[in-house]
Structure 1
Amino acid sequence: MAKVLILGAGGVGSVAAHKCAQAPEIFSEIVLASRTVSKCVAIADSIRQRTGRTIETAQVDADNVAEMVQLINAVKPDLVVNLALPYQDLPVMDACLETGVNYLDTANYEPPDTARFEYKWQWEYQDRFREKGLMALLGSGFDPGVTNVFAAHAVKHHFDEIHVLDIIDCNAGDHGYPFATNFNPEINIREVTARGRYWERGEWVETDPLSWSMQYDFPEGIGRKKCFLMYHEELESLVRNLPGIRRARFWMTFSDNYLNHLKVLENVGMTRIDPVRYNGQDIVPLQFLKELLPDPASLGPRTKGKTCIGNVMHGVKDGKEKSLYVYNVCDHEECYREVGSQAISYTTGVPAMIGAMMMVTGKWQGSGVFNMEQLDPDPFMEELNKRGLPWKEVILKG
């Protein structure tokens, strides 16, 4: 029985809070905190209606270490689950160190002024967490998160070495808007407009944004979709921790409609992240655009279709070549019926809850900063099947 403090009342925070509430035998107390407490209250009302459980809510600025320390000391949680913005990872980690509480997040730290998807800032906390006997679990979402666990599962059960890894993320859902993002627009657009990067023979190779594409035939009726090479942060930890990796890439699907809108917005400067002077004030165009776009949390009742995220892996086992595809398919409408959110939030919020479960039950433990593939995949994979994200694997060769 554990008490958990969840930071962030967006779509992912809502899903994680709902899923924690579904497991009272593990999470005996839940506190949900955000800068905007009214969002927490709305989620708490939904949880009470769906599960009969009452959770606590609180207001906090996760950028403010002193505020975070005060809240953690008042709540006394066993674990802080950070589902706020990636810019806030380091202040929250600082607060956890000061209060002696374990830490979990779903996305790597990003500096507000530049799109840099790197773990280096958080990896630098390794010694501080280890010396205090605390555990920090990084990237317990889907990608990063489940995709890392899929790779660890493959190494443990199928390969001696993985030589080639392709992580392929397809959202075949339709929300009916001309242009909207399925998670925080600021983070989404920064990610998509960044230069592509992949690992090849011991070095990083860069590409122009969305300049490489391929067609992939997705399972369970989703069909053939165009996928674009991007950089995603789980590649950074996987190439460091997977034995024998020679090439690692990340691919994501986008509709022509999405890409056309994004190109126009980019051409007119609306995706810029540097301040622009307007009417005597500095505004960041991308932050302003975020306010104009639909709130991702509002997409749930409108979105139909499925997501499919998985790993295609090629390597060797007992000296013979082997290929494996491990994936999950998630239905937007089923997610909305269960927790009131679309599948993008669901596929991130559920792994956040499972990662928290691994930590508070002691199935995953250690001192220091950990990426998901460094821990035993078996209990996590088992919980995916139980908690709404069942996985399948297909041996393609060997």
Structure 2
Amino acid sequence: MAKVVIIGAGGVGGVVTHKCAQVANTFEEIVLASRTKEKCDAIAAQLNRPIKTAQIDADDVPALTAFLETEKPELVINVALPYQDLTIMDACLAAGVHYLDTANYEPKDTAKFEYKWQWAYAERFEKAGLTALLGSGFDPGATNVFTAYLAKHYFDEIHELDIIDVNGGDHGHPFATNFNPEINIREVTAECRHWENGEFVTTPPMSEMQKFECPEEVGTYDIYRMYHEELESLTKHFPTLKRAQFWMSFSDNYLKHLEVLENVGMTGIEPIEFNGQEIIPLQFLKKLLPEPSTLGPRTKGKTCIGCIVKGVKDGKERKVYVYQICDHQACYAEVQSQAISYTTGVPAMIGAKLLLEGQWQKPGVWNMEQFDPDPFMEAMNQYGLPWKVIELS
């Protein structure tokens, strides 16, 4: 039995809160905190058990530390913005609390997805006897565990990895993003990097495309190669990988809108002056776009996210695909959220559960693939993200 503080009341925060509330024997007490307390209260009103809500600014380390010292949780689940990872880690260290997040830190002024800032905390967390679990979402998160699971059970050595994230959902808007527009657009417009023969190779964003047919009649989609943070940790922790790539599906409609917005400067992150005040174009655009948490009731279709791994077993080459299919409407019926938030929020709860129960607790800063994948895979089947493994020719 444990107490957790969840920071962040967006789409993912809502799912994490719902899923933790369902597992009362682990999450005895839940505190949901955000800059906007009303958002926390709205999520709390959806639950069938009482939780506490609070207003907190995750950028304010002294205030957050004092809040954690008062609440005394065992763990903070950080589903705020990636810019706030380090301030929340600082507060956890100061207050003596375990830490978990779903996305790596990135500085506000550069679209840079790197683990170096958080890995630098390893010694401090180890000395404090605290665990920091990084990237416990789906990608990163479940995809890291998928890779570790295949490496453990299906291969003697893994050589090639393709992480493929397909969202076959339709929300009916001309243009909207399925999670925080600022983070989403920064991610998509960043330079692509993939791992090839011992180094990262840089190519222009969205310059490599192929068709991908999802299993179980989800459909065929255009997938584009892009950089994603789990490549950095997976290539470090699986040194036999000769090539590792991340692919995501985008519709022509999404890409057309994005291209126009880029061309007119609306995706910029440098401040510009407008009517005597500074604004950041991308933050202004975020205000104009539909709030991702409102997409749940109107999104239909499925997601299909998985890993294709090639390697060697008993001297023979083999190729294996592990994947998970999620239905947007089924997710909404369960937790009032679409599948993008659901597939991120459920692994955050599972990672938290394994950490609190001691199976994944070890002082230091860790990525998902550094722990035993089996209990996580088992929990995915149990808590709403059933997966399958198939052999490919």
Regarding TM over 0.5, the answer is yes
Q: Does 1:174 align with 2:170?
A: yes
The superposition leaves residues 16-67 of structure 1 with CA deviations (integer Å, 9 ceiling, x where unpaired) of 00000001111100000000000000000011xxxx2000000000011011
Alignment of 1:91-106 (within 5 A): 91-106=87-102
Q: Specify the alignment match of 1:372 in structure 2.
A: 368
Deviation >4 Å, runs of 4+: none
| Distance in 2 separating the partners of 1:66 and 1:382 | 39
| Distance in 2 separating the partners of 1:354 and 1:243 | 27
Q: Does 1:70 align with 2:66?
A: yes
Q: Specify the alignment match of 2:38 in structure 1.
A: 38
Identity of aligned residues (%): 66
Q: Specify the alignment match of 1:109 in structure 2.
A: 105
| Distance in 1 separating the partners of 2:176 and 2:39 | 20
Letter in 1 for 2:133: L
| Distance in 2 separating the partners of 1:10 and 1:74 | 24
The answer as to whether partners of 1:180 and 1:293 remain within 8 angstroms in 2 is: yes
Q: Which runs of 5+ in 2 are unaligned?
A: none
The superposition leaves residues 201-226 of structure 1 with CA deviations (integer Å, 9 ceiling, x where unpaired) of 00110110101111111011112111
Offset of residue 243 of structure 1 = 4.0
SS of the counterpart of 1:46? Answer: coil
The superposition leaves residues 182-236 of structure 1 with CA deviations (integer Å, 9 ceiling, x where unpaired) of 0000000000000111000001101101011111110111121110000000000
The superposition leaves residues 276-305 of structure 1 with CA deviations (integer Å, 9 ceiling, x where unpaired) of 011111100000000000000000000000
Q: Specify the alignment match of 2:151 in structure 1.
A: 155
| Distance in 2 separating the partners of 1:95 and 1:60 | 12
Letter in 2 for 1:58: A
Q: Specify the alignment match of 1:121 in structure 2.
A: 117
Q: Specify the alignment match of 1:21 in structure 2.
A: 21
SS of the counterpart of 2:28? Answer: strand
Offset of residue 160 of structure 1 = 1.1
Q: Specify the alignment match of 1:136 in structure 2.
A: 132
Letter in 1 for 2:379: E
Count of residues in correspondence between the two structures: 393
Q: Does 1:7 align with 2:3?
A: no
| Distance in 1 separating the partners of 2:184 and 2:16 | 20
Select 2:355's aligned residue among 353, 359, 363.
359
Q: Specify the alignment match of 2:339 in structure 1.
A: 343
The superposition leaves residues 235-258 of structure 1 with CA deviations (integer Å, 9 ceiling, x where unpaired) of 000000014100000000000000
Q: Which runs of 5+ in 1 are unaligned?
A: none
Offset of residue 322 of structure 1 = 1.1
The answer as to whether partners of 1:161 and 1:243 remain within 8 angstroms in 2 is: no
The superposition leaves residues 306-362 of structure 1 with CA deviations (integer Å, 9 ceiling, x where unpaired) of 000000000001111111000000000000000000000000000000000000011
- CA RMSD, aligned part only? 0.6
The answer as to whether partners of 1:163 and 1:313 remain within 8 angstroms in 2 is: yes
| Distance in 2 separating the partners of 1:150 and 1:376 | 11
Q: Does 1:274 align with 2:274?
A: no
